[in-house]
Structure 1
Amino acid sequence: MAEDNRIPVTLIGLGSMGAALAEAFVGAGHPTTVWNRTAAKAEPLVAKGAVRAEAIGEAVAASDLVITCMTSYEATKQALEPAADALSGRTLITLNSGIPSHAREFAEWATGHGARFLDGAVKNVPQAVGLADTLIYYSGDKAVFDEYESTVKVLGGDTVFLGPDVDTAKLYEAAVGTTLLPALVGFFQGAAMLKKRGLEVSSMVPYSIKWLEMINSILPVLAEQIDSGDYSQAFSSIGLFHAAIDDEYQMGRDEDVDISWQAPMHDLLRRAVAEGHSEDNISALAEMFLKPEKKD
């Protein structure tokens, strides 16, 4: 990176992800100021070349670009409140968790104090920060993204701008993220079944990976069906899954594992069948999540 592109950066919030972000900036040669409520968390970064700010106002004043990585927008707002006046004329990028409505509320607060604002989401684990294929997406002020794209790209090579609506990054974070816990819980149930039989869970991993790769391969087809609303090409019908519900409960009893976490999914299948989707492809379940539009 050219010396004149190593702009100063302030990183606020030094949990596992925030610390990884700060370390990436330090490693790329950016003068990096860090701040955290628990000051001791800054020590490893200071040892690598970062500067620890004693107070939040000092941290904000140190750089034109301020990046926060805290647990929520509310926590971010509370941290920044004492330095709110210092935000005027600076660029603020949030990389915390949250929901779209909170992103909109926080953007209003930040711009109300004169900051240029961009919201983002890191779609990987802290250990992946800085890697070429790490996905981080942003939404909001396009001019801000264009100005700082090369700077934030050191955090993840797959850097994407989703659009000018400030809550779009959080919308995609939520939409994509809903897959994680159900998939992991399914894996954990399978792991419990093997463990009950005295088998190593690690023996299942290669087959689970192949299964996830299969799911990956059909996502474009499922998405196309949902976009078009045509579910008639049923390579795996809702009725097929519905017919297996009783067997799944029997298996739980046979293998002595608790599968009660699946009950809401089974209710979803029953509702879909009741509404006439038995012969439709499994992608038609997306229709079950769409609430009827309210009439005036």
Structure 2
Amino acid sequence: MSGNDRTPDLTSAPTPAPTPAPVTVLGLGSMGRALAEAFVDAGHPTTVWNRTPARAAPLVARGADHAGSVAAAVEASPLVVTCLTTFDDTRSALEPAAAALSGRALVTLNSGSPAGARALAAWATGHGARFLAGAVKNVPAAVGAPDTLLYYGGDRTVFDEYETTLRVLGGDTVHLGAETDLAALYEMAVGAMLLPALVGFFQGAAAVQARGLEAASMVRFAGKWLDMIKSLLPVYAREIDSGDYGDAASSVNLFLAGAAHDAELTTETHVDSAWLAPLHDLVRRAVAAGHGEHSIAALTEVLRMPERTA
């Protein structure tokens, strides 16, 4: 046998890349459009639908298919991703396509309560869909980035089958568990921090401007402050989980003393700080409950409402 008569070594042949799964995106607001763009850019055959058809035009120009009806959109793909405002909005949009849901994977990415997620899951699975409810924990411009977080709760088989597809939307993709309301629970639990933090920044910006300074001048320092708060979260979480608030780096009494400073700043800058009144009341309630010298994390105990008896 000559040197040129070798049998090809098929074991070293490259494994062909999997074909990107077809996906349908329902809802083309700023976030829905970003989701669809990410799927198209990753090579997934993407069908889109929106109540206002004109919103589909930029995506069609990019390579997406536009379905003329929600039923046609659902029928186009085994994986249907919805990005409407609430769970009720999602159900309302899907009602005309209910019969087409059977056997398809339905992934919702919208806001709403855990109860809303459970209700939609019951409706969708009642029509034969496999259900996964998720949340995008970033702005539309961050969709597709390696560190963008999305988490999901619900049917693990859907997550396992489409994990590669879903990871196109963000590199930090997590399945929280089989309960269909887990993403909504964490969305609201984590999201509860947003408005107080933003209003705090807005109040500070108004106070700085009252001195003739620009709000932009405090951005660097506010960022450092948020970094410090972030570093404390594991400490507070351990205190809350253990119920031991005795090692107080920042006590409830310390925060109570700060309430007077807020009042003085309001008088000086004429910036309304009335939004802080319920927070100050919470601190006073914690002191009254015996938590004055405890860590500020003890406010968690005051926030717990007693279970209602039948």
Q: Check whether TM > 0.5.
A: yes
Q: Which range moved further: 247-256 or 30-39? A: 247-256
* Counterpart residue type for residue 190 of structure 1: G
1:97 match: 111
* Aligned match of 2:183: 169
Q: Which residue of 1 aligns with 2:43?
A: 29
Write the distance in 2 (CA, Å) between the matches of 1:289 and 1:29. Answer: 48
CA distance in 2, matches of 1:57, 1:245: 56
Q: 2:272 aligns with which of 255, 258, 263?
A: 258
> Which amino acid in the other structure matches residue 21 of structure 1?
L
What does the per-residue CA deviation read over 1:195-229, in whole Å, with 9 as the maximum and x for residues that have no partner?
A: 11110111111111111111111110000000000
Structure 1 residue 5: Cα displacement: 2.9
- Aligned counterparts, 1:176-215, within 5 A: 176-215=190-229
> Could you tell me how far 1:256 is from its partner in structure 2?
1.2
Deviation at 1:3, TM superposition (A): 5.4
Q: TM-score, normalised by structure 2?
A: 0.94
**1:221 matched to 2:221:** no
Say yes or no: does 1:41 pair with 2:55.
Answer: yes
Report the count of equivalent residues. Answer: 296
Distance 2:98 2:143 in 1: 28
Aligned to 1:278: 292
RMSD after superposition? 1.2
Q: Read off the aligned partner of 1:286 and give its amino acid letter.
A: T
Q: Which amino acid aligns with 1:132?
A: P
Structure 2 CA distance, aligned partners of 1:32 and 1:247?
Answer: 55
TM-score normalised over the length of structure 1: 0.98
For the pair 1:244 / 2:258, whether they are aligned, the reply is yes
Partner residue, 2:91: 77
Structure 2: distance between partners of 1:174 and 1:116: 23
> 3-state SS of the aligned residue for 2:290?
coil
Q: CA deviation at 1:289?
A: 1.2
Q: Which residue number in structure 2 is paired with residue 129 of structure 1?
A: 143
Q: Helix, strand or coil: the match of 2:217?
A: helix
Q: How far apart are the structure 1 equivalents of 2:231 and 2:16?
A: 40
- The whole-number CA distance in structure 2 between the counterparts of 1:178 and 1:121 is 14
- State the alpha-carbon separation in 2 of the partners of residues 244 and 73 from structure 1: 41
Deviation at 1:245, TM superposition (A): 1.5
Superposed CA offset, 1:159-193 (max 9, x none): 00000011001100111111111001000000001
Could you tell which deviates more after superposition, 102-111 or 248-257? 248-257
Instruction: Write the deviation string for residues 104-134 of structure 1: whole angstroms up to 9, x where unpaired.
Output: 0000000000001101000000000000000
Unaligned runs of 5+ in 2: 1-14
**Residue identity matched to 1:139:** G
Letter in 1 for 2:170: G
Q: Which residue of 2 aligns with 1:158?
A: 172
Q: Partner of 2:82 in structure 1?
A: 68
